[in-house]
Amino acid sequence: MSSKNKVALVLSYQYPGKYALTVLAGAVESDPVGRDVALRFPRDRDSLLAMVRECLDEGYQVVVAWSFYSASFPAAAEELAWLREQLAGREVLCIAGGVHATAETEQTLQAGFDLVAVGEGETILLDLLGRMMRGEDPRQTRGFSQLVDGRVVPRGRGEGVVLDHYPPFAARNMKFGAIEITRGCIYACRFCQTPFLNKARFRHRTVENIAHWTRVLREAGKRDVRFITPTSMSYGTQDESMNLEAVERMLAAVREAMGPEGRVFYGTFPSEVRPEHVTPEALALLKRYVDNDNLIIGGQSGSERILQETRRGHDVETVVRAASLAVEWGFVPNVDFILGLPGETPEDVQATLVLMRRLAHVGAKVHGHTFMPLPGTPYRDAPPGSVDDETRRELDRLASQGRLYGHWKQQVRLANGIASRRQPRR
Ligand code: SF4
């Protein structure tokens, strides 16, 4: 008989945290230690409670895990409080991770989570589960912070995960998702959490590894493959340049792995293309390999001053050129914009509206977002994004012409919520 303790990991498997939890479940199921951990994927709070109770009744030590963004933090905290109340003192270890928990560790711990995973989760979660199976104290695991006497006790952070060492999803548990091909970002856009969480350099999954997991997707009966990367055309590079040869080798391998019936989506949701990377050579390559008819291009602002302040690393004309070229090559460019960026003057807002109209004129669609002061970014303490009435009318007009889409109105509320919850820096 095994002398190991029985450990169950119950993942609060709800949108949007479930994407990160799928990656973590993949790490657990593929690891020699993690393989003995019972994994559960409840999709709502009632099944979360039922599965936790069932695991406890079966004699497991139970870890319940949440991953969330800043906007979904209140819902996760509320679910945690509800679960604890329902369990009426039965012992479970409640842990949280993700970009918000990493950036606002104290706030997350004060919400009642026992431990916060700081940084990248794969390695440190496996360490924690291994400790529990061996009967050791999980609270001593490196990479997890906790509150002791009301003060945060940090224990380092998880980082530097080599993507090839872990699967991109949890195939044994039939939980699939987009394949993360690059983690970290060398660009330093001031509104973005990616360089903060995953460091300012690119780590790429190898072509062979991507092809392997694509075959696994196909063998599971999936017809489509999608990818996660901070910037699609940066695959295979360590700097601002493109390595189209590397992108082509990867896409050719993926195409082959998917077979004639499969569909390959690249440069579109859930990843995007930087505007300066939209060149005739890059478009010709994409045209040869991908099935998407649209490209998502980061534009963000029509004001040169704001583009510089936010450190986007490109100018307005580059965005227009990218959209025009994409149209020429038969793609619908969907250009991302952020409304209400810090320090915007009425002239900057006007410049953004002018650019949106120019893009609409060349055949692009505009994807509107409202600026959120995200924890971990240089803009964490900036005012939440707002959209004045005149701009709102103009945006509604573009939307009615089918040229603008997005949740920018709902995001005004989310941005205010994030700002209202932030605590002073210590
Ligand atoms: S917005 Fe995109 S390019 Fe800029 S730092 Fe974030 S991930 Fe990188």
What ranges do the domains of the chain cover? 7-153, 178-273+280-289, 293-426
For domain 7-153, the CATH superfamily is Cobalamin-binding domain (3.40.50.280)
Find the 316 Cα to ligand 1 centroid distance in Å: 17
Pair 220, 171: CB distance under 8 Å: yes
Distance in angstroms (rounded) separating the CA atoms of residues 144 and 126: 12
Over the stretch 356-411, which tens digit does the pLDDT of each residue have?
A: 999 999 999 999 999 999 999 999 999 999 999 999 999 999 999 999 999 999 99
In short, whether 194's Cβ falls inside 6 Å of ligand 1 is: yes
Q: So what's the pLDDT on residue 195?
A: 86
- pLDDT for 425 equals 74
Residue 4, pLDDT score: 85
SS3 of the chain? CCCCCCEEEEECCCCCCHHHHHHHHHHHHHCCCHHHCEEECCCCHHHHHHHHHHHHHCCCEEEEEEECCHHHHHHHHHHHHHHHHHHCCCCCEEEEECHHHHHCHHHHHHCCCCEEECECCHHHHHHHHHHHHCCCCHHHCCCEEEEECCEEECCCCECCCCHHHCCCCEHHHCECCCEECEECCCCCCCCCCHHHHHCCCCEECCHHHHHHHHHHHHHCCCCEECEECCCHHHCCCCCCCCCHHHHHHHHHHHHHHHCCCCEECCCCCCCCECHHHCCHHHHHHHHHHCCCCEEEEEEECCCHHHHHHCCCCCCHHHHHHHHHHHHHCCCEEEEEEEECCCCCCHHHHHHHHHHHHHHHHHCCEEEEEECCCCCCCCCCCCCCCCCCHHHHHHHHHHHHCCCEECCHHHHHHHHHHHHHHCCCCC
Residue to probe by mutation, ligand 1, list 194, 198, 314, 374, most atoms within 8 Å of CB: 194
For residue 189, the CA-to-ligand 1 centroid distance in Å is 6
Compute the C-alpha angle 329/334/338, nearest 5°.
145
Q: Please give the backbone phi and psi of residue 382, each rounded to the nearest 5 degrees, phi first.
A: -75, 160
Other CB atoms within a 10 A radius of the CB of residue 157 amount to 18
Provide the sign of the torsion angle of the four alpha carbons 190, 271, 185, 127, taken in this order. Answer: positive
Orientation of helix 346-362 relative to helix 316-328, angle to 10°: 10
Contact call for residues 178 and 228 (beta carbons, < 8 A): yes
Structure token pair of residue 258: 């998917």
Do the domains at 7-153 and 178-273+280-289 have one common CATH topology?
no
Position in ligand 1 atom list of the atom nearest CA 230: 7
The residue whose CA is least distant from atom 7 of ligand 1 is: 230
Predicted confidence at residue 424, as pLDDT, reads 79
Instruction: Indicate if ligand 1 lies below 6 Å from the C-beta of 185.
Output: yes
The CATH class of the 293-426 domain is alpha beta
Give pLDDT, residue 207. 98
> Is residue 307 lining ligand 1, measured as CB closer than 6 Å?
no
Q: Which residue minimizes the CA distance to atom 2 of ligand 1?
A: 230
Q: Is the CB of 387 under 6 A from ligand 1?
A: no
Per-residue pLDDT, 199: 78
Pick from 234, 113, 259: nearest CA to 183: 234
In sequence order, the 6+-apart residues with CB closer than 8 A to the CB of 53 are 87, 90
Predicted confidence at residue 159, as pLDDT, reads 86
**Residue closest by Cα to atom 4 of ligand 1:** 189
pLDDT of 334-348, one tens digit each?
999 999 999 999 999
CATH number of 178-273+280-289: 3.30.750.210
- 121 close to ligand 1 (CB < 6 Angstrom): no
CA of 229 from ligand 1 middle (Å) equals: 10
Low-confidence ranges of the chain (pLDDT < 50): 1
pLDDT number for residue 1: 42
Residue of minimum CA distance from atom 3 in ligand 1? 187
Which residue of 183, 190, 192 sits with most ligand 1 atoms within 8 Å of its CB, as the best mutation to test the pocket?
A: 192
Give me ligand 1 centre to Cα 194, in Å.
7
Q: What is the CA(181)–ligand 1 centre distance, in A?
A: 15
Q: Ligand 1 in contact with 342 (CB < 6 A)? A: no
Which of the listed residues 99, 187, 274, 338 should we mutate to test ligand 1's pocket, taking the one with most ligand atoms within 8 A of CB? 187
Is the CB of 377 inside a 6 Å radius of any atom of ligand 1? no
Residue pointed to by tokens 């690393």: 313
